[in-house]
């Protein structure tokens, strides 16, 4: 899952990016509304964490413009304002939820998860494909009774494949949804991560779970 954090307070933006990154999300940061609109157009994000008070183009306007393109991307608004009007307007402009500053990181994380869950009806709290189970909340993967220890990237790849179980996921899809903008975009590195992921799943008794669809990508389930 790929997230764009839009926040002009650099310390907060960077802390959020680090925290979300540790949870296995691919995170990019935009420090003003203009930049947010620019990168949101280029990259395919699953969620925006959007501050309301931003230079150049404010958060409300960013939200309005993103929604006007027909995008159903999840939007979590951050606001220092406590006025009811702003919150109502934010939701009217298409934000999925809002969080009033200051907030605790676990609360932001819970809301991010809730929005991502709501986004696709097929998305469930816990992902299951046969004996393979991935719990995004506990950040835990198991095959039958065997726990599988994965790196953040491996977890991100597996989560994306399981969200799209039964569908072919191309390397480009994985780059879009699992890697952030400043990552080294070598498809070779996807192969390495997939190989490592397969080895770990194999060792846990989940042989052949990830299929390679020649010339197209990967598929699970
Ligand atoms: Ca701000």
Ranges of each domain in the chain: 2-118, 127-220
CA distance 166 to 183: 27
Distance, CA 204 to ligand 1 centroid (Å)?
A: 46
Distance, CA 58 to ligand 1 centroid (Å)?
A: 9
Distance, CA 9 to ligand 1 centroid (Å)?
A: 6
Distance, CA 8 to ligand 1 centroid (Å)?
A: 5
Distance, CA 177 to ligand 1 centroid (Å)?
A: 26
Closest CA to 162 of 192, 199, 196, 201: 201
Cβ(49)–Cβ(60) under 8 Å? Answer: no
* pTM (two decimals): 0.63
- Looking at residue 72, its pLDDT comes to 79
* 2-118 maps to CATH 3.40.50.2300: yes
Q: Where are the beta strands (DSSP E) in 74-187?
A: 74-79, 97-100, 127-129, 132-135, 140-143, 146-148
Can you tell me whether residue 97 is helix, strand or coil?
Answer: strand
Helix (H) or strand (E) segment spanning residue 155: helix 152-163
**CATH class of domain segment(s) 127-220:** mainly alpha
CA distance 67 to 59: 12
Residues with CB in 5 Å of ion ligand 1:
8, 51, 53
Domains 2-118 and 127-220 share a fold: no
Helix (H) or strand (E) segment spanning residue 146: strand 146-148
Rg (the chain; Cα; Å): 18
pLDDT (tens, 9 = 90+) of the chain, 221 residues, equals 899 999 999 999 999 999 999 998 999 999 999 999 999 999 989 999 999 999 999 999 999 999 888 787 999 999 876 667 777 788 888 899 999 988 999 999 999 999 988 776 544 568 889 999 998 877 889 999 899 999 988 999 999 999 999 999 999 889 888 887 766 666 678 889 999 999 999 999 989 999 999 999 999 98
Residue written as token pair 């764009």: 4
């Amino acid at each position: 899952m790929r997230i764009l954090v839009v926040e002009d307070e650099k310390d907060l933006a960077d802390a959020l990016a680090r925290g979300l990154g540790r949870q296995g999300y691919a995170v990019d940061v935009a420090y003003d509304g203009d930049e947010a609109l620019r990168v949101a157009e280029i990259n395919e994000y699953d969620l925006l964490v959007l501050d309301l008070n931003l230079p150049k183009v404010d958060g409300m306007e960013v939200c309005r413009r993103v929604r006007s393109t027909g995008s159903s991307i999840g939007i979590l608004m951050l606001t220092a304002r406590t006025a009811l009007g702003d919150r109502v307007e934010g939701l009217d402009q298409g934000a999925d939820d809002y969080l009033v500053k200051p907030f605790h990181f676990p609360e932001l994380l819970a809301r991010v998860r809730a929005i991502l869950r709501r986004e696709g009806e097929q998305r469930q709290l816990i992902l299951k494909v046969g004996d393979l189970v991935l719990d995004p909340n506990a950040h835990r993967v198991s095959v039958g009774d065997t726990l599988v220890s994965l790196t953040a990237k491996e977890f991100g790849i597996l989560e994306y494949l399981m969200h799209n179980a039964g569908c072919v996921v191309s390397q480009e899809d994985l780059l879009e949804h699992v890697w952030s903008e400043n990552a080294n975009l070598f498809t070779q590195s996807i192969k390495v991560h997939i190989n490592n992921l397969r080895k770990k799943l194999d060792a846990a008794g989940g042989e052949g779970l990830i299929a390679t669809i020649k010339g197209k990508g990967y598929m699970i389930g």
